[in-house]
Amino acid sequence: AQSVTQPDIHITVSEGASLELRCNYSYGATPYLFWYVQSPGQGLQLLLKYFSGDTLVQGIKGFEAEFKRSQSSFNLRKPSVHWSDAAEYFCAVGNTGGFKTIFGAGTRLFVKA
Amino acid sequence: DAMVIQNPRYQVTQFGKPVTLSCSQTLNHNVMYWYQQKSSQAPKLLFHYYDKDFNNEADTPDNFQSRRPNTSFCFLDIRSPGLGDAAMYLCATSGNTEAFFGQGTRLTVV
């Protein structure tokens, strides 16, 4: 069965520090992988996606993620966190075109001054 | 420009009183979804439409129904809301790339 695991429920980083959010997936075929961000009371905004090709993908707001097939991982990174990055981050996996996207439990990011 | 629009953003309904949530899209995508997201949890897929074909997830309660009168619009009907149905309801569409989400409707049951 398809599943997504985000092992960290919440993470706190200092503003300006680097960030890595972990994501592991279980999928029978070639996965379509996504990271979404959600601010309180808002919908989901796509940060980046991986379908094929270069395993390091760049997204919006300075985020990047690396697909590692051998580890079934798709970790999200940012070199320098801003206070406005505080939000909930969801890793997700889907079929072609994001069909029936399923989500991990999310990681809440707190940013301290 | 909003591509997936949900109305209303906030909905309060009485216990047991039917309620309808609305979603429209300007992307002309074939697939539309409804997700339920409870506080501090991941969005959970309730059902989806592929064109006019309705597909229910196995664990979606019978209390939840949906209608899609045309490509642009999709409705979520909750026949008899219980306190446990209080949640954020997210509408989404997908085409060839990824799922696009609306801003959600926060449902409160009193």
**Nearest Cβ partner of A98 from B90, B99, B104?**
B99
Mean of all residue pLDDT scores within chain A = 93
Spatial distance between the Cα atoms of B8 and A90, rounded to a whole number of angstroms: 24
- Residue range B70-92, pLDDT digits in tens: 999 999 999 999 999 999 999 99
Please state, in angstroms and rounded to a whole number, the distance separating the CA atoms of residues A64 and B107: 34
The pLDDT value given to residue B97: 80
At residue A98, does pLDDT exceed 90?
no
C-alpha–C-alpha distance, residues A71 and A33, integer Å: 14
**Phi, psi (rounded to 5 degrees) for A89:** -115, 130
| Interface mutation vs chain A, best among B90, B97, B105, B107, most A CBs within 10 Å | B97
| Residue A95 confidence class, pLDDT cut points 50, 70, 90 | confident
Region of poorest pLDDT, from A81-95, A97-111, B57-71, B80-94: A97-111
Q: Over range A29-53, report the average pLDDT.
A: 90
Pick from B45, B96, B106: CB nearest A100: B45
Write out chain A residues lying below 8 Å of B102, CB-based: 43
CB contact under 8 A, B43 and A99: no
Is the CB of A49 inside 8 Å of chain B's CB atoms? yes
pLDDT in tens, chain B (110 residues): 669 999 999 999 999 999 999 999 999 999 999 999 998 899 999 999 999 999 999 999 999 999 999 999 999 999 999 999 999 999 999 988 889 999 999 999 99
B43 C-beta neighbours (distance < 10 Å), count: 29
Residue ranges of alpha helices (H) inside A1-113 are: none
- Look at A111 and A2; give whichever has higher pLDDT: A111
